[in-house]
Amino acid sequence: MFRSTSRTVAAAGLLLALGLTTACSTGQESTKAADAPVAKVDGKISITYLQKQGDQEYFVGEAAGAKAKAAELGVDLKVVNLGNDANKTISEVQAAIAQKTNGIVIVVPDPAVGPQVVQAAKDAKIALLTSDDQICTNGPDPSACAKDNLVPRIGFSGTQMG
């Protein structure tokens, strides 16, 4: 069940990222963090999925689910293992932007890099979504962040999961 849940989360995140990338409405009010315009996508959609600890079973399963859903939808998906390296996070975001990705889904190894990741995506007009862990647009600590400054996130409640 654990692997199935992680694949569902990854697939849902991928679908949400696709919605953000193609500027489809979810019917929900947007938050300040989600108001940044994103570039229109012409042709095939490409998404970069940056994961902390990508060699751990949970993240391996999550990446497999995302890859399967991307293949089903005809989306190019690149998965990158960030390990626990905050510096690699920034360089891989910059690399994804240079490679003209249409969207970034990210699980940061350190939420302190959140504002820098957000600014890079915003400047490049690339859709940004967090998976599993939250990041804030204007500070290093998501728990101290105003709700409208949190980056949209797909995940599950650890409390509800048990």
pLDDT at 35: 57
Q: What percent of the chain has pLDDT over 90?
A: 63
pLDDT at 18: 45
pLDDT at 42: 78
pLDDT at 148: 94
pLDDT tens-digit series, residues 57-68: 999 999 999 999
Do the Cβ atoms of 68 and 7 come closer than 8 Å? Answer: yes
Q: How far apart (Å, rounded) are the C-alpha atoms in residues 90 and 31?
A: 24
Do the Cβ atoms of 46 and 100 come closer than 8 Å? Answer: yes
pLDDT at 106: 95
pLDDT at 162: 63
157: amino acid identity, one letter: S
Higher-confidence residue: 45 or 25? 45
- Any idea which of 18-22, 34-38, 84-88, 110-114 has the lowest mean pLDDT? 18-22
Residue in the block written with tokens 């932007």? 97
Domains of the chain: 2-22+45-161 (3.40.50.2300)
pLDDT at 44: 87
Q: How far apart (Å, rounded) are the C-alpha atoms in residues 21 and 24?
A: 8
Average of per-residue pLDDT across 48-57:
94
